[in-house]
Amino acid sequence: MSANISNVDVILDTVDVDVPSCPHGPALLFIKYDQDGEKPGKQRKFFACSAFRDRKQCQFFQYADEKISKEKIEERKLINKGNSTRYSHDDLWNRCQRLQNTQLLDSARVYCHTCDLLLLPEEHKEHKGHTLKTNISCSLLQHPTQLFQPHNNNKTYAQYLFASSAVTFTLQTLDKLGVTHVLCVGAPRIHEAIINRSGSKGHSRKTLLLDLDARYMQVYSSSQFCRFNMFNFHFFDSGTSEQVYQDFVTPSHQKHIAIITDPPFGGMVEALARTMSRIMSDCVLQDEGEEEVVTVPVLWFFPYFLEKRITDAIPSLHMLDYKVDYDNHSLFSAKKKKGSPVRIFTNLPARQIPLPSNQGYRWCEMCERYSAEENKHCDKCGRCPSKDGTSYIHCDICQRCVKPSWVHCSTCNRCQLQDHKCGANRESGCHICGQSGHKRRDCPLRHLSNRKRKKELSSQSSSAMSPKKKRKKTGKRK
């Protein structure tokens, strides 16, 4: 379910609610409002797939107050069972082990993209006419993110893979932090790099990948990979996988665990944050009698323009200036004028994570953090304010730094794009009044009729402007 549907909210508190399941685990509970704002009797709660917002990928849908017949329940059980993988994790892993035999010729190793399956030599004929990857080396089997075709549909998996620069930076950061165990919630390329590096001298770090993509069961053992839905904390092989996870995250004085996550950017942030908070709690070690709790490092990769959603959900996280590049996305790349919009959110002090100087990052003494080259420190704001890859400019009227493409509008009483329509833009926040700090369900105008609501909003807008400001549409920034 999209996080960008303005008239839909997710309800995470489902205590005493009978939550149905789809092939991707327990559904999420949503509430849908009228497009013009909530009207009495027009809101309705419903359950939908937690992992996919495209009904073509998962057709599950159920109104919360809908009575489901026994026949429908049985039909769903059959659908859920039918969507399970053809082979068990152990079977898939054993097939890969057979193909890892160095005595086999590369031509004996074939991957079927149509069936998403590594083929044994005797199975090649059965897949004629399919899309095949042939002549697979043992080395390629150790780099599955290069072998598998990425699912890059934004409405489903949206698998965008880190560029080598981002992988190198992440590994170097983990080295500096002295991490011994890395839990990758998504981020398969980081998991892959750690495993392939573990044989090198001085590198014995352990890693566990939690991911929805069942293809990884073929190349990683059950101790290295668990099929997992990060939106509802669901393990598909509940018995084995949950135990593997618990053993991995159970804290001890010998472990120093870090959590890395690279979730789909179109996912519901509140649901992701609930899962991350639970994982962070599972990793914490606190001795009896000790008040101090050791912080478990978190690196959450997400676009900068969703910063508020993340920090509202997990206040301990803050955004670093590092721009994360991806191999298979034209917009998430250093080739773009402003660079990639993806950043890293972490709960560690920014000064503990040096950003690479050879990529243009610098140390800011005043902020005690590393900033991008274009992110100039503002003495008036007392910080390095830029977030989007440009050099911000200070507006004395607004008393804050803004994007260089903005000008101060005396009608709107704030900085806006030059060609904006006065009164049309609202700051992100409540879908009803446009104010930040609360959501639709907590809005003081929630229960007013549309007419009264528009009158109240108009009154608030008028009171914010003086008569002199109404006569002038735009003014120069001072």
Write down the pLDDT at residue 337.
77
Contacts of 444 (CB under 8 A, 6+ apart): 433
Which among 237, 227, 274, 239 is positioned nearest to 14, based on CA atoms?
274
Query: Counting beta carbons within 10 angstroms of the beta carbon of residue 107, is it exposed (0 to 12), middle (13 to 18) or buried (19 or more)?
Result: exposed
| CA dist., res. 283 & res. 303, Å (int) | 26
pLDDT (tens digit per residue) in 173-225: 999 999 999 999 999 999 999 999 976 666 789 999 999 999 999 999 999 99
Assess contact for 131 and 113: CB atoms under 8 A: yes
> How many residues in total does the chain contain?
478
| CA dist., res. 339 & res. 331, Å (int) | 8
Where exactly does CATH 3.30.160 map onto the chain?
Answer: 89-141
Residue 216 is given by DSSP the state G
Write down the pLDDT at residue 121.
93
Q: Hey, what are 432's tokens?
A: 């009803």
SS (H, E, C) the chain: CCCCCCCEEEECCCCCCCCCEECCEECEEEEECCCCCCCCCCCEEEEECCCCCCCCCCCCEEECCCCCCHHHHHHHHHHHHHCCCCCCHHHHHHHHHHHCCCCCCHHHCEEECCCCEEECHHHHHHHCCCCEECCCCHHHHCCHHHHCCCCCCCCCCCCCCECHHHHHHHHHHHHHHCCCEEEEECCHHHHHHHHHHCCCCCCCCEEEEEECCHHHHHCCCCCCEEEEECCCCEECCHHHHHHHHHHHHCCCCCCCEEEEECCCCCCCHHHHHHHHHHHHHHHCCCCCCCCCCCCCCEEEEEEHHHHHHHHHHCCCCEECCCCCCECCCCCCCCCCCCCCCEEEEECCCHHHCCCCHHHCCEEECCCCEEECCCCCCECCCCECCCCCCCCCEEECCCCEEECCCEEEECCCCEEEECCCCCCCCCCCCCCCCCCCCCCHHHCCCCCCCHHHHHHHHHHHHHHCCCHHHHCCCCCCCC
Which among 161, 170, 145 is positioned nearest to 327, based on CA atoms?
161
Write down the pLDDT at residue 283.
93
3-state secondary structure of 151: coil
Alpha helices in 63-163 (DSSP H): 70-82, 89-99, 138-141, 144-147
Residues of the chain with pLDDT under 70: 1-6, 34-42, 152-158, 199-202, 286-293, 329-330, 333-335, 424-478
Assess contact for 259 and 348: CB atoms under 8 A: no
Where exactly does CATH 3.40.50 map onto the chain?
Answer: 164-353
Residue 232 is given by DSSP the state T
Would you state the torsion angle of the CA atoms of residues 349, 354, 359, 365, taken in this order, to the nearest 10 degrees? Answer: 70
Tokens 């243009």 found at: 360
- pTM of the predicted structure, to 2 decimals: 0.85
Write down the pLDDT at residue 15.
87
Contacts of 358 (CB under 8 A, 6+ apart): none
Assess contact for 415 and 408: CB atoms under 8 A: yes
89-141 CATH: 3.30.160
CATH 3.40.50 fits 164-353, yes or no: yes
Q: Hey, what are 149's tokens?
A: 């075709």
| CA dist., res. 245 & res. 235, Å (int) | 9
